[in-house]
Amino acid sequence: MSLEVYIDGKYYPKEQARISVYDHGLLYGDGVFEGIRAYSGRVFRLDEHLERLYASARSVAIEIPMTLPEMRTTVLDTLRRNGLRDSYIRLMVTRGVGDLGLDPRKCNRASIIVITDTIKLYPADAYEHGLRIIIASTRKNSPDCLSPRIKSMNYLNNILAKIEAIGAGVAESLMLDKNGFLTECTSENIFIVKNRTLYTPTSVVGILEGITRSVVMELAQRAGIEVQMAFLTPHDLYTADESFVTGTGAEILPVVEVGQRKIGDGKVGPITRQLLGAFRELTQREGTLIFEPDAASV
């Protein structure tokens, strides 16, 4: 049976899911989105993702035609309809169908799309042995031009950096800001460990404040690991004891080499392993239930 996709109040088989060629999300990347994960029948940090979605929409003046509680129900109903307990959820809100001009007033109603499927960004081996990455020549969009806190559908900047990684034969690219400070990878936040202290770039440099990033900082603090947000340079990364990236799709992935320089001893570090284990344990017990518990088993 084919998976079904929710589009504006109706469900369509995956192969038949369509939007108008006049949709401003397609024409101009004019929309916002969230990537969300479900583990073992629970949607992880669903409310945080939805709050960020609605904040992004408000920031770009898109009026979402359903309330946040209704959106929450729609996501869960789509998962139930597809019978999914472990899933990647792509939730998109475009400005809707307009004309070929930029004028957002021509879009009468925003469109809502919910895709529930599986995702595998990296092989299992990457979690055991780590990633090789580069620092891209493509710089991160400046936050004084477009706020990185808006999770918009326009990812061309990130895609250009990803092309550099592919050309270099590595898994991922890390982007710098206009001043040369570390920002984030094409779809993940970055962390380094130095002298048992965890560092991650400050949001001032222009990063998406990732949900997984926040979870990792919570887990580190619970474990007694000091966490600092700082202005970091490539030198800080090259001389770190450990490094890893975080994201909804990637979860927590070790980084063992940057630009042909080994990070630490070139192996996955103990704090990275500790946080990955804690994260995986958390995702199995925390989250919004997709299916109601079977009364007979209670």
pLDDT at position 243, please? Answer: 98
What's the average pLDDT block by block, 10 residues per block, for the chain (298 residues)?
Answer: 94 97 98 98 98 98 98 98 97 98 97 95 93 98 92 96 98 97 98 98 95 98 97 98 97 97 97 98 97 59
pLDDT at position 83, please? Answer: 96
Q: Would strands 189-194 and 197-201 be described as parallel, antiparallel, or unpaired?
A: antiparallel
Walk me through the domains of the chain, giving residue ranges and CATH numbers.
4-117 (3.30.470.10), 124-284 (3.20.10.10)
pLDDT at position 292, please? Answer: 82
pLDDT at position 298, please? Answer: 38
Q: Distance between CA atoms of 79 and 101, rounded to whole angstroms?
A: 36
pTM of the model: 0.94
